[in-house]
Amino acid sequence: SCTKKQTGTAVVKNSDELSLNAKSLLQAYFDNDFSLWEELFSEDCEVLINNNALDKKTTIEGLKQERTLFSSFSISEDYSHTNYFNNGNIWTNHWFTVKATGAFTGETNSVRVHTDLKWENGKVVIFQAYFDPSVTIKEATAMSEMSK
């Protein structure tokens, strides 16, 4: 019926502060500067990396370590938008492709990444990232082999 209230609707924006913040977090990762991550992530932020639950501190330390596995990076197909749902929830969706050269194998690979950020009061309270981890695992294995 026409009088039934629609649920699950949202206003979607792609040049708002939160969408740009998602892109800034990615740039900060590549710049090896995690101060923005510290600032924007709530202290009790729920993090899921390929469905593995982590806390804020472990996530940032892990990203710093992962960052050392690669000697060069480039980003392409970088797009984000933020959904402002009528129930008050705010989620940013961010997609991008990373082309990285391994610091230990010397191999260059491309990986497509998708992240979701739930915002409350300007802070990320849920951060989810999904990607194929095989390149990172291969690079970490090569680093481990070299240190033996």
Is there a contact between 57 and 47 (Cβ–Cβ < 8 Å)?
no
The DSSP string of 21-71 is: HHHHHHHHHHTT--HHHHHHEEEEEEEEETTEEE-HHHHHHHHHHHHTTEE
Average pLDDT over residues 34-48: 98
Query: Cα dihedral sign for 83, 119, 57, 55?
Result: negative
43-91 residue pLDDT tens = 999 999 999 999 999 999 999 999 999 999 999 999 999 999 999 999 9
pLDDT for 1 equals: 47
**Percent of the chain residues past pLDDT 70, beyond the cut:** 95
Average pLDDT over residues 103-110: 97
Does pTM top 0.95 for this prediction? Answer: no
Sheet strand arrangement including 90-102 = 10-13, 70-85, 90-102, 108-120, 123-131, 41-49, 52-54
